[in-house]
Structures are given as C-alpha cells and as structure tokens.
C-alpha cells in the first residue's frame, strides 16, 4: 500500500525534513548541496512517485540545487538506513533508485537515446567518441582517460595480428578503430543505433572493420575475441543467460571475452524509473550474483577489475563539456532537455562517488592452458 497517498502535505514535508537532517542538506541553504524548493507540493510528489517524481520535479523547475552531484553524494553517504524505521525506508527515494519497469523492444534505447544527435555526443564526449567510463590512472584529461581505457581493454584481450574480434555494442567505433590500427586485428562491430551505425562506418573506413546494424542474438560466427563496452546494461535480467550463451557460441575455444559494464551493489530485476523513462529505455544494472549465474557452466572468470570511482570523473568531464558547449546545443535542444541531461549526468556522478554503483571489466575464457596473466596498465 502507498501510505503517502493518505498523508497530508505538511506531514510528508515534516518527514522529509527529518531525513535531510541526517544528510546535512538544508532547504533554502547556501551550501552548493542545499536545495531550493519552488513549489509547495515538491515533497508530496517525490514521496508518492519516487525517483520518477524527484527527476520530473527537477525538470519542471519545482526545485534547484547548485551541485546535484554533491547533493546525491551526501544523501547516499548519510547512512540513513540505521537511523529511521524500516517502514519509513520503503519510499525513501534519496536512499536508492528502485522501481519496476516494463520490458520494451531492444531497439527502443537506440532510437530514443543513441540516435538523439551526433552533434550532442561529439561536443560532450572525448575526441574518439567513447560513451563509456574512462580509465583515469595516469590521466589528466578525458581524452587520455579514454585512450587508457581502450589500451587497457586491448591488453586484457591479449590481441594479436589477424585475430577476428566481435565488438558487441560498438558505439561510434572507438574500440574497433583503436584495436585495428594498433593491433592489426579484424573487427565486426554491431549496434542497434542507426546514428552510431552511420558514424562508425565513416569513422572506421579503410580499416579491416565491418560495422553492422544487428542484434547480438543474430550473430552466428566464430571469433577469437569478444568485447562489449557499456552494452550489457541494456540486456535485461531475463536475457543475461541468453547473452552469455550467445557469446559462448561465438567465442573460439582459446578465446577471451571482455565484459565492461556498470554494476549494481545489490540484485534487482528492474531499473530506475526516471532513468528508464528519460534516458535509457529498458535499462537495468546487473549484480555480481546475476553475472555469476548467467556465466555459470559456460565460462571461467579469469579476472574481475573494478574501477567504478573513475566513472565519477568521466561523468563530471562529460558534464563540463555539455555545459561549455550548451551555447551551440541550445539551437537544437530546449531548456527542458538541458535540465534532464544536467540531472542525468550529475546525479549519476554523485551515485558513483558514493560507491552505490560500480564499473566492472571482467575477463572470461573457456579455459586457457597455463592460466591467464592479468595486465592492469603496461604503458
């Protein structure tokens, strides 16, 4: 039962203020993490509609915060769970993002998100157009962090000339291009985004790279290596086993599979309501348990590397680029879009900073004779 439907706005506001006491966030305060409320029904809507209400009220200018990333970081680090009763936590949106989503067609996220505008992504991302977490060891800027990530991924895959590589969710072609140019491999990149498909074809032209508009379930060939950078978040828990079986079928007996994905600290079967509606349709984050169960009896887990803290830096760099280039982007996008993407980038940065979500690179094999030696950063 949604108890908040039967409570007055004043009562809900009182509960909300009690929560905020534990976070150090003040309504109308002058700290960058404090919130400014412009509509009297703000707390009522948030408590009745959860994460969807919190995000939508921000988009509709019911509230503001100078530094959303700091707001989310403080809320998630406040350890509220041990300070208030369990019933109160049932609808505590500030604690974690949980909501049930409906299953949608796999092409929807391509059409609604990745096909938005190549201009948007070219102005927000690094020069190689990586739309995944960078690796910030020995890096001082986004371009170097993303180059590090590409090189780290290639080293983990132990690429050799003329190997055939399947890139599941190839994006704009950054990994395929780097691997082909620097390691002499042949790459098949697949995507469900029309805009990424067209961009990647041009980006990778004159290289031994084939870009396809294709679902991973329709690939029926053998490869020496399989890589997936930031695509597994769109697979959905009902398809995790299907995904792993397909990779197993496509991978040679001596092959390696690198799975690069955002991960959840807990097991869920749904994505966040606001993120699902406004950013990534049909998206959800896998847990360690879900990945383990999906790969069981198929693969040996050779290495599990967590550099989730680097996603905070990556998102803040994307947000800085987004802000710096809004003057050009606002010719194509309105103020509502600006607030949606501002909220998306900064709230996610705060969540990673609070360590509520992770970024994992996992190496799987069918069993390598003599074992697998793990590289971390060899350049």
Lowest mean pLDDT among 66-80, 174-188, 345-359: 66-80
Most confident of 1-10, 20-29, 262-271: 262-271
- The distance of Cα 247 from the centroid of its chain, to the nearest Å, equals 21
DSSP letters along 258-306, please? EEEEEEESS--SS--HHHHHHT-TT--PPBHHHHHHHHTTT-EEEEEEE
For the chain, what is the mean pLDDT?
A: 88
Lowest mean pLDDT among 4-13, 49-58, 151-160: 4-13
- The distance of Cα 136 from the centroid of its chain, to the nearest Å, equals 17
Lowest mean pLDDT among 58-62, 81-85, 229-233, 311-315: 81-85
The residue with tokens 């490869």 is: 223
- Structure confidence at residue 301 (pLDDT): 97
Q: Average pLDDT for residues 34-61, to the nearest whole number?
A: 90
Q: Collect all residues with Cβ–Cβ distance below 8 Å to 203 and sequence separation of at least 6.
A: 129, 172, 173, 174, 177
Lowest mean pLDDT among 69-73, 91-95, 301-305: 91-95
**DSSP 8-state code for residue 81:** G
Cα separation, 304 vs 125, in Å, equals 26
- Structure confidence at residue 5 (pLDDT): 47
Model confidence band, residue 316 (pLDDT cutoffs 50, 70, 90)? very high
- Structure confidence at residue 322 (pLDDT): 97
Lowest mean pLDDT among 30-44, 104-118, 226-240, 335-349: 104-118
* 348 among known catalytic residues: yes
Find the farthest-apart pair of alpha carbons in the chain and give their distance in angstroms, rounded: 68
Q: Collect all residues with Cβ–Cβ distance below 8 Å to 270 and sequence separation of at least 6.
A: 98, 99, 100, 101, 284
Q: What is the pLDDT of residues 74-118, one digit of tens each?
A: 988 876 545 544 334 434 444 344 333 333 455 555 555 666 689
DSSP letters along 146-161, please? HHHHHHHHHHHHT--T
Cβ proximity of 236 and 350 under 8 Å: no
Q: Average pLDDT for residues 254-263, to the nearest whole number?
A: 98
- Structure confidence at residue 107 (pLDDT): 54
Cα separation, 179 vs 357, in Å, equals 28
Cβ proximity of 18 and 84 under 8 Å: yes
Cα separation of the two ends of the chain: 56
- Structure confidence at residue 19 (pLDDT): 78
Geometric angle at alpha carbon 237, from 232 and 239, rounded to 5°:
75
* Encoded tokens for 203: 């980006």
- Structure confidence at residue 314 (pLDDT): 98
Whether the pLDDT of residue 63 is over 70: the answer is yes
Q: Give the H/E segment covering residue 68.
A: helix 68-77
Q: Which of 133, 154, 204, 348 is catalytic?
A: 348
Query: What SS3 state is found at 92?
Result: coil
- Structure confidence at residue 189 (pLDDT): 98
Q: Average pLDDT for residues 194-205, to the nearest whole number?
A: 96
* Encoded tokens for 216: 């991973």
- Structure confidence at residue 209 (pLDDT): 98
Query: What SS3 state is found at 264?
Result: strand
- Structure confidence at residue 280 (pLDDT): 82
Q: Average pLDDT for residues 197-215, to the nearest whole number?
A: 97
Model confidence band, residue 342 (pLDDT cutoffs 50, 70, 90)? very high
Cβ proximity of 68 and 87 under 8 Å: no
Whether the pLDDT of residue 134 is over 50: the answer is yes
Among candidate residues 285, 286, 319, the one with its CA nearest the CA of residue 69: 319
Cα separation, 317 vs 295, in Å, equals 33
Q: What is the CATH number of domain 108-365?
A: 3.40.50.150
Model confidence band, residue 377 (pLDDT cutoffs 50, 70, 90)? low
- Structure confidence at residue 379 (pLDDT): 53
Range(s) for CATH 3.40.50.150 in the chain?
108-365
* Encoded tokens for 176: 């395929």
Geometric angle at alpha carbon 133, from 128 and 134, rounded to 5°:
60
């Amino acid at each position: 039962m949604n108890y908040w439907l039967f409570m007055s706005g004043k009562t809900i506001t009182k509960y909300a203020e009690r929560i905020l006491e534990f976070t150090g966030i003040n309504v109308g305060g002058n700290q960058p993490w404090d919130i400014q409320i412009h509509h009297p029904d703000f707390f009522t809507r948030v408590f009745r509609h959860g994460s969807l209400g919190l995000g939508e009220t921000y988009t509709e200018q019911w509230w503001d915060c100078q530094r959303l990333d700091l707001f989310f970081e403080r809320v998630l680090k406040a350890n509220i769970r041990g300070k208030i009763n369990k019933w109160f936590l049932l609808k505590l949106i500030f604690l974690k993002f949980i909501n049930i989503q409906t299953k949608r067609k796999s092409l929807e996220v391509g059409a609604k998100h990745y096909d938005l505008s190549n201009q948007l992504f070219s102005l927000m991302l690094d020069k190689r157009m990586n739309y995944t977490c960078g690796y910030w060891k020995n890096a001082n800027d986004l371009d170097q962090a993303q180059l590090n990530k590409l090189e780290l991924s290639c080293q983990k895959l132990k690429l050799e000339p003329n190997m055939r590589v399947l890139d599941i969710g190839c994006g704009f072609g950054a990994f395929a291009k780097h691997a082909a140019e620097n390691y002499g491999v042949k790459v098949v990149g697949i995507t469900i985004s029309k805009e990424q498909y067209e961009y990647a074809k041009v980006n990778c032209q004159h290289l031994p790279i084939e870009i396809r508009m294709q679902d991973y379930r329709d690939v029926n060939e053998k490869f020496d290596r399989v890589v997936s950078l930031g695509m597994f978040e769109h697979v959905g828990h009902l398809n995790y086993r299907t995904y792993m079986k397909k990779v197993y079928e496509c991978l040679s007996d001596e092959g390696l599979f690198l799975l690069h994905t955002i991960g959840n600290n807990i097991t869920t079967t749904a994505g966040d309501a606001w993120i699902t509606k406004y950013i990534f349709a049909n998206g959800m984050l896998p847990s360690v348990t879900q990945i383990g169960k999906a790969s069981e009896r198929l693969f040996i887990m050779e290495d599990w590397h967590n550099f989730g803290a680097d996603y905070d830096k990556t998102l803040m760099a994307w947000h800085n680029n987004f802000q710096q280039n809004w003057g050009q982007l606002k010719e194509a996008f309105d103020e509502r879009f600006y607030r949606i993407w501002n909220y998306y980038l900064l709230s996610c940065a705060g969540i990673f900073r609070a360590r509520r979500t992770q970024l994992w690179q996992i190496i799987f094999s069918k069993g390598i004779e003599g074992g697998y030696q793990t590289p971390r950063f060899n350049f």
